[in-house]
Structure formats: structure tokens, C-alpha cells
Structure 1
Amino acid sequence: MNDRHASPGRHDDRDEIARLLPVPAEWDLPREQHLRHKDLLMRHIDRDQAASATPESTPASTARPVRRARPLLRPALVASAAALALAVAGTTGAVLSGNGGRHDDAARHAAADTRPAAALLHRISNAAANHGTLTVRDDQFLYTREKVREADITTGKAVVSPLKDYESWMSQKPGPLHRLGVFRADGETLPINAELGDTEGTPAGLSRPTYTWLASLPTDPDKLLAYLYAKTPAAHGRERDQAVFEQIGTLLGGLMPPRTAAALYQAAAKIPGVDRSSRVRDAIGRPGLGIVRDDTRYGVRTEWVFDPKDYAYLGSRSYLTKDTSYGRAGTLLSSTAELAHAVVDKAGVRPAAEDRTGTA
């Protein structure tokens, strides 16, 4: 039984018990949480570990993966294990549900289409559909340059980093691959290895979205949304709608086929709880139109920022909406600003000219 079907009384009881639990004396994260490839905190730790080992002292086959930063802090990581266990009681069927659950989802998604956010997302979708389709070969790389700020919470308090330049070159081979590309930060170039746990290599998919794989996704918004609800990895204690919203967020900010981009935005419009905001800024302060969703369980707001003129994706921001043990309401968790995207022939080589539309 998942969160959508649980009675309000059970939620209240669990939340009250969780609030009464003492804050854990030290960090003791379950190992499976460390392996979640899209967790912003784990990427930060991986980068620190990779940076401390030189290429000569760390063989490529054994180096820890370095992952491109994404605006996805998992608040579940800083909750106590006991509170999480209580919060997810009765979630055995979180991913699969009966026909009644599907009918309930359809009704909720239909209602979501009437919200102001849906109108904005449909305009964004129409703009994305008018972009040109690229020809991307399997032997090429997708290049991304962005500015990023992110919070490190490993000490128990959120410590926000200064603004940093990140670049990545992602291989477009269908895979599975053990070497996914390269990543450059603070002047140092490091390998991006297969996701943790992928001993046979990481194939193209949600965790490695190649241009060709993105083109293979359903372009009907309802079918695409159903696919995302089925394939998005479940996380203990996290609302399913929020998980899918964040999964879509991981796909934004890169080059993708116009029809896929258009369908993704229309699919996002159907997720309950998605709203719009006119007071958002990316990591370098560019103002824009916002598509937002609040994770009310953990008190985190995630914002997608779009150019008010052409609806291009500018970046994202995530911050606390309530006081927690690791920060007060308003504390920044992550922010990004997309600067350039291109298709290049060689990893580690910048395109001759850069812009965020993908021409080079």
C-alpha cells in the first residue's frame, strides 16, 4: 500500500511518532542509500574521493564514479533510520498497484491539467517542439557546461559551496559501458565510470540518457508518464509523484529530441502538486518563469527555471521550506545554470562555439 492510499490518520500518527524520535547521534546511512546514483550528496562525496586520487595512483577500472551534478538532494538521507522505517510502514506495493490505483492516478492527472502550471508547461512544450532535430552518432559525445552551487550535509549542517564551473562529455554509445565519459571541475578532468552496482557496465536509460535512447521514449504524454511512474526507482519514504517530478528534472538541461522534450513537459503538467512561480532565479541570478513542486514530507522545494522570452530551460534550484536539523527554512540545497550544450567528436574537447540551443 503506497502513500496515495494510506489513510490520513495513519500519516498523522507516523509523522507524530517520527517527530518524537531523538536526532541520531551520528551519521549512519544505510549502504543502499549510498548506491543511489542520482543522489546529489553521494555525487559530492564521489567527486571528493576521486579528486583525492591522481590518475596515476587510481586505475581507471577501479576509480569511483564521478557524476555530473544535478539538483536532486534526497532529504531521506538525513532522516533517522527509525523515522524512515515508521514513515514507510505499509509501502510494500509502492510501485505496483491494482486497477483501482490506475483509475485513481488517471483522475488525479486529469485534474492536474486544469492548474495554472499546466498552461505554462504546454507553452514550454510547444516551444521545445519547434527546436531542430540533431543528428548524433554513437561515436560522439554530448557536451554540457553549467554553473553549480550545492550543499554538503555530511557534517550535519548544510554548507553551501561557492559557484563552480562543471563540464561533462557523455558518450553516446548504446552500451552497456564501463566508461561513460569525462567530467571537468576546478580545472581537473576525471573519468565518469559505470554507475555503482553496474558490474557489466551501464546501458543507455534513465541513468544514462543518450540522445538515441531519449528518441525511443513514448511521445504521447500519458504513455510517457506511465513509463516514468513504472521505471523511476522507488525510494523509501518518498512520495511517488515527487520522485517522478525529480526524475524528469534529471533529464532537463541537456540536448534531447524535440518531440521527447515536448512530451516530457506535457507529462510533467499531469503530475499532481506541480505549480508555477514568477519569482525564480537560476544559479547565476537569471530571473525566469518557474515550474515548482514541494516535497511536503521533507520540506524541500524544487524549482525549474525557464527563460520568459523563449521558454528555454535556464537551470534549477532546490531549498528548504521548513526548519530542519541541518538548516533553516530558505537554506539553499542546490542550484544550477545551464550555459552551453553541443555535440562533439572527442571527450575533453570543448566545442568551437557554445550556446544553450546546442549549436556549435
Structure 2
Amino acid sequence: MTGTDDGREAYAAERAELARLLPPAPGTDLPPGRHEHHRERLMNLIDDDTARGQNRTGAGAGAGDRAREHADRPGRSRLLRPSFLAPATALAVAGALVLGYAAQNAGGPADTGDTRSVSQVLIRMSDAAGKGEALPIRDDQFLYTRGTGRDVDLTSGKAVVGPLEESESWYSQKPGPQKKLGLIRQGGDTLPINAELGDSEGTRPGLNRPTYRWLATLPTDPRQLLDYFDEITPKFEGEDRDQALFESIGGLVGDALLPPDTAAGLFEAVALIPGVTRTPDAVDALGRKGVGIARDDERSGVRTEWVFDPEDLSYLGWSSHLTRDTEYGKKGDFMGDSAVIETAVVDKAGVRPRN
């Protein structure tokens, strides 16, 4: 075996160990914010920099600096320690969902008492979603989202809660691979949303770029939908697969404009995932109380709750906290949240909707 082969095997082993240490991400950030996105992005950063480093010096030096530079870009999560990545949802700036489901379509307000199981609540949400009207959006338009939320930075070894910060995003609906996915505005800066790392020809519609057209092609049968997500959600050794699927679907519930039939199927698919629970007193980043749909990530010790309006069942945001003592904090400690303020369809990136 050559020295080059030895180096490749050692690098592959190191990459596998890093992947093992990074738990399945329980959520999504903005942008691009998709489940499993941050962990895979980190691994890709390491891959990319290692390849560059080997071309320059025969070693994979410099990954930390490039990763830190990437992570500090506005609108993206901070790079966290390899032993734990905070939930992608817990790093989100805002979710982006327009359900538009009236209470009369759901047959009245959702029951937030303890008499209904989570399956019953999710089926009720599914009924409401299926009876909603699709928000028209063309391939040449953009999904606009304004939201707010708080990040948790773990780089110091302890959970440090950041300030409530508002952001706006514009996501392109163009079919086919795209190198420019839209814009994000945060902290006074407006920056382009580029293709996913490694997508040299552009990012195609899919889990990391859920255009309305792509979402409309998904199966609507809950079991088929869950099986399909099992196929397209990245797999990592040692992960809780049910948690990975919960978070993968949550990335769409929190970040996408969903066709009514797709939304209905997603809620019923979530009802099929073991360990999903209902929390009647969930609260989003704006303090709005609602019905929570939650699941505990036993590996990371984090619970993430999606928060829905108790009256019309529309998505409000999410919140997250620790379910046990960890090196980063105590049981019950806050781990991030978000709230949707406004969503709309606009004709041009960077332009706010007319009120």
C-alpha cells in the first residue's frame, strides 16, 4: 500500500469519526437551513479544505480557519465544537411557512388539553392543511420571509444566548440547478444566498432547496412520504433515525411554502414517527403561546418544539431546550427559538411585499 493510500485511509477514518461525533441536527436555520445541513456542511468544509491543503502542502491544514470564516457569515450558524452541534432549528434566525388554514377548515380551535394524543392533533392539522388554499407562486417569483429569533453559541463550551435578531430572506423558485438562490438581509447587510457547498453546477430543487414546484411532486400518502424522506435524508452512523426524519420534515414545515396536499401528508407522516409528543404550552420567540409538536433528541439531550397557533393551526415558530444536564448547560436551559413575522410572494429579490 502506498503512502498516499495510507493518508487517504487515515483521512477517511478521521472523517468518519467526526461524523460519528456530530449528532443528527434537530432542526433548520436560515438560510439555507435544512435538517442535517449544518453537520454535512461542516464535513464538506473539512473535505474541501483538506483537498486544497493537500494540493498546497500535502496536508489538510486550515480547515478550522475556513470553517470559522464560513460560520461567521451573517445568516448562518456559528461553527460549534465537533462533539456537539446545536440543533439546526436552535440556530435558526426564522422559519418561513404560510399555511393559511382557517379555523373553520379545521373544525374549530385545536384542543390543547391532555385528552388528545399527538396523532389526533397532527391529523387535525393535516385536515386543516388539506382544506387550505394554495398561495400562487410562479417559477420567476421569490418566497419572502421576515422573522426573528435567538441563536445559542456553544463555541465557549457553554450555551451563550444571543440577542433577538430580525432577518429577511428571498428564495428563488426557479427550476433546475441555480448558483444564486436568493438574498438574505440581516444586521443591516444584504448578502446573496449561494449554491450549497460542493454544488459547482448549482443547487437543484430538493431537500436543501425546497421550491414549491418540487414540493408539489412529493407523494402525499403519509407512509410513502416518510419512506421517501428516509431515502433522501442523509444518514450518519450512530444517529437516531427517527429524530433525523422528524427534523428533516421540520425543515420544510419551518422553511418552505407548502402545497396544501403536501402539508397534509407531512403532518400525518410526522404522526407515524415514534417519540413525537404534544406540548400544550409551547412558546415562540415572540412569546406567542401555542400547541407544540416536539421530539427529544436523546443523543444530544435537546428537545425541539414546533409551535402552532391554537386557533387556526398556522405555524408560529419553534423553541428548543435541554432535556438533561450536559456540559453546555442544565436541564431546561434555553437552546434557541424563532418566530415568523411575515411571509409573502414577491416578484424580485430584495423587495419587500406591499402591505
TM-score (norm. length: structure 1): 0.70
Who is 2:121 aligned against?
A: 120
Query: Secondary structure at 2:37's aligned position in 1?
Result: coil
Equivalent positions of 1:148-297 (< 5 A) are: 148-253=149-254, 254-297=256-299
Identity, % of aligned positions: 52
Separation in 2, partners of 1:74, 1:292: 25
Q: AA paired with 2:263?
A: A
Instruction: Go from structure 1 to structure 2 and tell me whether the alpha carbon gap of 1:233 and 1:76 turns closer, same or farther (over 3 Å shift).
Output: farther
Query: Displacement, 1:252?
Result: 1.2
TM-score (norm. length: structure 2): 0.71
Question: Unpaired segments of 5 or more residues in structure 2?
Answer: 1-16, 26-33, 43-66, 86-115
Question: Unpaired segments of 5 or more residues in structure 1?
Answer: 1-27, 52-65, 81-114, 354-360
Who is 2:83 aligned against?
A: 78
Query: Displacement, 1:174?
Result: 1.4
Separation in 2, partners of 1:41, 1:217: 23
Instruction: Count residues with an aligned counterpart.
Output: 275
Query: Secondary structure at 1:39's aligned position in 2?
Result: helix
Query: Secondary structure at 1:50's aligned position in 2?
Result: coil
CA contact (8 A) 1:150 1:332 kept: no
CA contact (8 A) 1:146 1:340 kept: yes
Separation in 1, partners of 2:191, 2:230: 33
Separation in 1, partners of 2:154, 2:80: 10
Query: Displacement, 1:162?
Result: 0.8
1:38 paired to 2:40: no
Query: Secondary structure at 1:256's aligned position in 2?
Result: coil
CA contact (8 A) 1:300 1:320 kept: yes
1:311 paired to 2:327: no
Q: AA paired with 2:342?
A: A
Larger relative contact order (Cα-Cα within 8 Å, sequence gap ≥ 6): 2
CA contact (8 A) 1:37 1:196 kept: no
CA contact (8 A) 2:81 2:154 kept: no
Question: Any idea what the Cα deviations from partners look like across 1:283-304, whole Å, max 9, x if unmatched?
Answer: 1110001111111122110101
Query: Secondary structure at 1:252's aligned position in 2?
Result: helix
Which piece of structure 1 moves more, 247-256 or 140-149?
A: 247-256
Query: Displacement, 1:74?
Result: 11
Query: Displacement, 1:236?
Result: 3.3
1:50 paired to 2:62: no
Separation in 2, partners of 1:36, 1:131: 26
